[in-house]
Amino acid sequence: MTISIQLARLPHGDGLPVPAYATPGAAGMDIQSAEDVTIPPGGRHAVATGFRVAIPDGYEIQVRPRSGLAFKHGVTVPNTPGTIDSDYRGELKVLLINHGPEDFVIERGMRVAQIVPAAVTQASFVEVEELDETERGAGGFGSTGTK
């Protein structure tokens, strides 16, 4: 399934390509940094992408890490999956954290994360006095064992 998402470029995004799928079966579109920035070990940065989007009602965009950056450099998205709301009109930013031992040098145009559009189900809560009983009950956080 393919949905259409409007994309408006910001001045500092000029010249960067519109995000696209690298292969026909790709789930995510890589997105590129619109800035040069270095993230020191333990540091975080909201990386500029140079564009804004208008996602159709009923959808979101999820921002996910690239496994190569996580594996090779310890660089990941701390809020993964980042949530881009359909009514957000600011610049899409990629939050990155450097868990690695070395400076992570980002050059403009580097692919720093991937985005995945997803359908959203909204809910409304109904407050009640009692909930039904289940086998699990209040057990959680490893209550079923480790094997």
Ligand X SMILES: O=c1ccn([C@H]2C[C@H](O)[C@@H](COP(=O)(O)OP(=O)(O)OP(=O)(O)O)O2)c(=O)[nH]1
Q: Is 124 exposed, middle or buried (0-12, 13-18, 19+ CB in 10 A)?
A: exposed
Contact call for residue 63 and ligand X (CB under 6 A)? yes
Ligand-binding site membership of 108 (annotated): no
Ligand-binding site membership of 66 (annotated): yes
How many residues sit in the footprint of ligand X (CB under 6 A)?
10
Ligand-binding site membership of 98 (annotated): no
Residue burial 86-103, b: 16+ Cβ < 10 Å; e: rest? eeeeebbbbbbbbebeee
Strands ordered across the beta sheet of 75-76: 6-9, 44-54, 91-98, 75-76
Contact call for residue 38 and ligand X (CB under 6 A)? no
Closest contact distance (angstroms) between CB of 79 and ligand X is 5
Residue from 5, 95, 110, 116 binding ligand X (CB under 6 A): 95
As a whole number of angstroms, the distance between CA 120 and CA 85 comes to 10
Which stretch in 22-30, 83-91, 100-108, 120-128 sits in contact with ligand X by CB under 6 A? 83-91
Residues forming the site for ligand X (CB under 6 A): 63, 79, 82-85, 88, 92-93, 95
